[in-house]
Amino acid sequence: MKIYHQVHPEDFSNYKTAAIREKFLMENLVSPDKVECAYTHYDRMVIGAAYPVTTVLKLESYEQLKADYFLARREIGIINIAGDGTIVVDGEIFALQKMDCLYIGMGKQDIVFDSNDANSPAKFIFFSCPAHHTYSTRLMRPTEAMPAAMGSLDNNNERVINKYIHNDGIKSCQLLLGVTSFKKGSIWNTMPPHLHDRRMESYFYFDLPEDQRIIHFMGEADETRHIFLNNEQAVLSPSWSIHSGVATASYSFIWAMAGENMAFTDMDAVPLKSLQ
């Protein structure tokens, strides 16, 4: 499990492309018949993927966690981004279709991922952070998620944010999670940008054609940088960084946050004219 350490904004302003990619980009999370994880020192979030094609996969603990099982001191939110599959939680079976979300609270020990069809396997993307209380395991369909319409076609950012794990949705200790999808003709996300001084955020981009690219923007408003991403890659966003992106084709992304404030609207707007 690769470890991502925190970066100070003054250091970041001196980074070249290779350093930005090394310290913020997760390129190979989705791997057939494997569970892959990355441990970040941004609010101790773990970002991972389980991609069961021909075998059942179990979420094991890692040496870095110093725990007998993965959720001994953690909670987890999972989004299925592909074919139908199941997640078995301590013997209880949950069937997930594409865009379904499953939250599992602290203390659950046996987490098993499976696909219904090897020709159309499920891809489970998950985000986990430390927990102090056990909330109930809950499955939510996209039709149950609380949608928020944002942006406009005039600004090429007309989008719908489906909020799954948040104060008025699935209850958690500190994890917030949702999926953003775009109206036809819109390609800009989180624009105008903002900051979250009280929490970190991570994006996982998906449903992008394989020959297309995402351009992800980050950094302080007056010292922005960018990197190019492929389909099914994740990027970290520290609390001091803007987080915004644009693509060369249609796409979706999962956003996940952890920190001290659970209010979805807790964000500090960054005026467009201040970007440099």
Compare 41 and 151 and report the one with higher pLDDT. Answer: 41
Residue 154 clears pLDDT 90, i.e. is over it: no
> At residue 23, does pLDDT exceed 80?
yes
What 3 state SS string does 96-114 have? Answer: ECCCCEEEECCCCCCEEEE
pLDDT at 230: 97
Residue in the structure block whose two tokens are 């865009």: 99
All structural domains of the chain: 2-274 (2.60.120.10)
d(CA 205, CA 46): 16
What integer is the mean pLDDT of 160-165? 92
Q: For residues 10 and 263, which has the higher predicted lDDT (pLDDT)?
A: 10
pLDDT value of position 193: 86
The pLDDT tens digits for 53-73 are 999 999 999 999 999 999 999
In this structure, the chain runs to a length of 276
Overall pTM surpassing 0.85 (yes/no)? yes
Given this model, what pLDDT does residue 195 score?
86
Q: What is the mean pLDDT of the chain?
A: 94
What count of other Cβ atoms lies within 10 Å of the Cβ of residue 183?
Answer: 15
Q: Which two tokens stand for residue 211?
A: 């020959």
Token readout for 259 is: 């920190």
Is the per-residue pLDDT at 264 higher than 80? no
Phi then psi for residue 175, to 5 deg, are -80, 130
Query: What does residue 63 show for φ and ψ, rounded to 5 degrees?
Result: -55, -40
pLDDT value of residue 172: 97
| Residue 261, pLDDT above cutoff 80 | no
Distance CA 167, CA 179 (A): 16
Tell me the per-residue pLDDT of 72-125, one tens digit each, with 9 for 90 and over: 999 999 999 999 999 999 999 999 999 999 999 999 999 999 999 999 999 999
Residue 202 phi/psi, 5° resolution?
Answer: -135, 145
Q: pLDDT of 189-224, one tens digit each?
A: 988 888 888 899 999 999 999 999 999 999 999 999
Is pLDDT of 155 > 90?
no
Q: Prior bond to 147 cis, omega within 30?
A: no
Please compute the mean of the pLDDT values over residues 255-274 and round it to a whole number: 86
